[in-house]
Structure 1
Amino acid sequence: MDEEIKIIKQPGLNINNSIHSVHLSSAERKILLNKLTDAQRDTLEEHRRFRVNSMLLTQFNETGTEWMFIEKQIDPTFDIHFPNESRLHCSCGRGVKYLYVCKSKENNIIQSFGINHLEQEAGISKSIIKEIKSKEHQIDRGLDEILNSVKLGNSFPNVEYEFLKERGYIETIFSDLKLEYLSAFKKVDLPIYEDDMAKLVEKCKEIQRALEVKNSEWSLHTIAGEEFIRQENDYFLENRETVQDALLNQQERVMNNARKIFKKIFLQHTNVIEKYDLDTQDGLLILIISVLFSEENGQQVTRKKTVFDTLYRLSNKYGYDISSFDKIYEMIFAILKDEGMIKHDNNMWKSNYK
């Protein structure tokens, strides 16, 4: 898109399976889930349940087993020390956290199995069970990506979505199942997967490039040319401020959250800012500090790789320049350590500011 009309500065990258994938701890996941609305949590859980059940149905069908998969059930209160108190029980009688409900293809008898008895009772091979666990892990990492996106202040990409939907393009780039998930996430204002966001942005750019080519071929002083511009460019011409504001609002939310954390950290340490002549307007420095002292980590200081991963994502979405990340990170980490604002305890760095 041209310099005046920008849906987004840079498309998001498909990094679900890259080294930059988000891996939240159970504690971090719980904190972020609690920050969602009830409707958002329900939507996210239903989305996960659907993806897991669809995956399991495919896996079972490919095995040729006599059992047909029906659904997977979960007992969130399961205690490994008191398994028999679980509300879910394998056909062998043992209490389990995860239960796979199956139906016999031969006599329609329904039985439920724990993961360990899928092989013994349902005839599912170890390799398939291993693949099931791996795919469930991938699904959970995808949900971590969404939760992390919420943490960064992102929401559903209404501007890009509505632009493509109004012009009939949305159905051409997503399957029916993807459209259902997009519709559900839109209703509760949840951000979407980065690879799907990248598709939305790239399609918007593709359309704009096509418009620019056609515009150059038409004379704006002819009736046909004026009609073309009116029909094809109205969205951008009439909604330019809305499009720009949507991006700026998202960026501003991210930076405002980062500034609040930055101010909190240095509230009683203004002397450190003066001593080292720190630039309190340096966006990269502010972002690094905000991620280092993320509230989700409690006292633990965020590891360098996680800090970089988070800023890498922001740079892909908003075009932030993080080329000097290493230099600024090493500089501020050394200052925090020398000034006693962080301390090393039990093989980890912890916050020690007042």
Structure 2
Amino acid sequence: MEMLEPINTDYSYGHLTKVQRAEIIKKLTESQKQTIEQYKRYKVNSMLLNQFNKTGTEWKFLEEKINWNFNQSNPNESNLHCSCGRGVKYLYVCKSKNNQEIKCFGKNHLEQEAGIGSNVLQDIRKEKHKIDRGLDEILIRVDGDVFFPTEPYEFLKKNRMLDILFSKERMEYLKEFSREGLPIYREDENKMIKEFNRILEKVKEQKHQKWLKTTEGIQYLKEQVIKKKYNEEQEIIRIERQKIWLNNNDWFNEQKKFERKSDNKETTIFTLKKRTIDNAKVTFNQVLIHHNDVTEKYCIESNCDMDALIINGMFDGGSVTNGKTIIPQETVIRLLKMLNKKFEYDINGLEKRVDEIYGILEHEGIIKKSKNRFIANY
């Protein structure tokens, strides 16, 4: 199973007109229509119960009945009648808290006989309007070919998490919508997705922890420790190099800057010469920090300007890391000769020493040949 993306709730669906609502409802099967109507009826009845309870009236609300075929011009044809005998479209079935008598009221007689004020009736109309608007979200999702989120629902049902996330009434609505394949509110879907992802993440972590105890996992942890140490060393080297070059990686720009600022050319040359060597030593340490046996065996020393400059040239000032191409010998020789003209380093026997160091590093596996080039392998 893969983690699921949450549903975007940053935008509002807006509201449907009566015509739009009717067009979408036409697309539904009869059982889907019944399911949505039952859900709406439940929402309305719950709302009415709350509204009636607020009034303190002696009447307890039981049920709202609706005659969808009500004829305004001939109300007496209605199959729903108020206790006064008048045919109505909306009928409110109520039960007396005093004597348990059950009566049916139309909207007009709710205030007169049940003591339900006009302000309560106004609130009821507003709440019913909200319920219709809420159902618009589901209908719009139906129109957009969105279906019930079966995967997280069945997963959470199997893991007995649904009754923790949702109330008993909400569970019933999910059950019915699942049966009909109807989409649900985005808020409810995201609630399931969030819990679904949380459980998957937990299972994944448990499997990972179990794997870490295997031979392969233990080896992985060892490699991570080595990798972490290596990265820490590289970070120290990076900071050291940064200090040396004053956050400037372009040697020639650094040189020009010093030449412009300094009135004493000899001081400028000396400073740049020292910085070049210091930078070369940083690269030397970066490449050979774990190869003391090689440096001792072949007397390759960071304190030797020529050795440090050769290593620095080969690895392009530390920018050539593992798997990348080493700077060719002839390029390194040409670069060091250019530096020598500027700073007068002691580089007697340069070509021979370059050839030796390339050979030593290849022999020791610090660089390796790939076709017609060398690549770093330190």
* TM tier, smaller: 0.5 to 0.7
Picking from 7, 11, 15, the partner of 2:7 is 11
- 2:107 is paired with a residue of what secondary structure? coil
Structure-1 separation of matches of 2:48 and 2:20: 27
> Which residue, out of 57, 67, 71, partners 1:65?
57
Worse overlay, 197-206 or 77-86: 77-86
Q: Which runs of 5+ in 2 are unaligned?
A: 218-378
Alignment of 1:155-194 (within 5 A): 155-194=147-186
2:110, 2:14 → 1: CA distance? 30
Q: How does 1:328-339 map to 2 (within 5 A)?
A: none
What is the distance in 2 between the residues matched to 1:37 and 1:28?
Answer: 17
Checking the alignment, whether the CA contact within 8 Å between 1:12 and 1:197 is kept in structure 2 is no
> Is the aligned partner of 1:42 residue 2:34?
yes
Please tell me whether residue 143 in structure 1 is matched to residue 135 in structure 2.
yes
Does residue 1:82 correspond to 2:78, yes or no?
A: no
What is the Cα deviation at residue 214 of structure 1?
Answer: 4.6
**Aligned runs of 1:220-299 on 2, under 5 Å?**
220-222=212-214
1:207-218 equivalence runs, <5 A? 207-214=199-206, 217-218=209-210
Shift of 1:217: 4.4
Q: Please give the alpha-carbon distance, in whole angstroms, between the structure 1 residues aligned to 2:188 and 2:8.
A: 9
- Counterpart residue identity of residue 71, structure 1: E
Offset at 1:160?
1.0
Q: Are 1:132 and 2:128 counterparts?
A: no
Residue pair 1:78, 1:96 contacting (<8 A) in 2 also = yes
Q: Residues 57 and 116 of structure 2 are in contact (CA less than 8 Å); yes or no, is this contact kept in structure 1?
A: yes
State whether residues 11 and 202 of structure 1, in contact with CA within 8 Å, keep that contact through their aligned partners in structure 2: no
Task: Report the aligned-residue RMSD.
Answer: 2.5
- SS of the counterpart of 1:101? strand
> Closer, same or farther in 2 for the Cα pair 1:203/1:144, shift >3 Å?
same
| Aligned mates of 2:67, 2:81 — CA distance in 1 | 10
Paired with 2:193 and 2:138, the residues of 1 have a C-alpha distance of: 17
Quote the offset at 1:12 in angstroms.
4.1
Distance change (3 Å), C-alpha of 1:100 and 1:129: same
1-structure distance, mates of 2:189, 2:59: 38
Q: How far apart, in 1, do the equivalents of 2:7 and 2:137 lie?
A: 16
Cα distance in structure 2, aligned partners of 1:128 and 1:21: 29
Residue 205 of structure 1: which of 197, 201, 205 is its match?
Answer: 197
Q: How many residues align?
A: 217
* TM value normalised by structure 2: 0.53
> Could you tell me whether the CA contact under 8 Å between 2:13 and 2:140 is conserved in 1?
no
Give the Cα separation in 2 of the matches to 1:22 and 1:116: 32
Larger Rg: 2
Percent of aligned positions with the same letter in both sequences? 45
1:211 Cα deviation (Å)? Answer: 4.1
Question: Post-superposition shift, 1:87?
Answer: 2.1
TM score, norm. by length of structure 1: 0.56
Partner residue, 2:94: 102
